[in-house]
Amino acid sequence: MINVLMIEDDPEFAQILSEYLSDFNIKVTNFEDPYLGLSAGIKNFDLLILDLTLPGMDGLEVCKEIRSKYNIPIIISSARSDISDKVV
């Protein structure tokens, strides 16, 4: 089984994605709060799905924090439309 950490503050989106991925034997653990996500034992996960627009902490800051300590693949999820937000 693949374990995915998701840091996403939209519970409806997180639920839909979690249910979809479960069909492929992928377990998703979601945190709406980025600080809780950062303390979730990232080394126990195979992949991170990260929203850029989070309460209390910008998603890019979360990404930098994780990347400074771990070599986990990260997929960015965002509703931002600026080209500078799309090319990171």
- Fill in the DSSP letter of residue 5: E
- Per cent of the chain over pLDDT 90 is 80
pLDDT per residue as tens digits for the range 35-77? 999 999 999 999 999 999 898 999 999 999 999 999 999 999 8
* pTM, to two decimals: 0.86
The whole-number pLDDT of residue 77 equals 87
Reported as type and span, the H/E element at residue 84 is helix 83-86
Domain span at residue 6?
A: 2-86
CATH of the domain at 64: 3.40.50.2300
Count of the separate structural domains present in the chain: 1
The pLDDT of residue 80 is 55
pLDDT category of residue 23 using cuts at 50, 70 and 90: very high
44 Cβ contact partners less than 8 Å away, ≥ 6 residues apart: 3
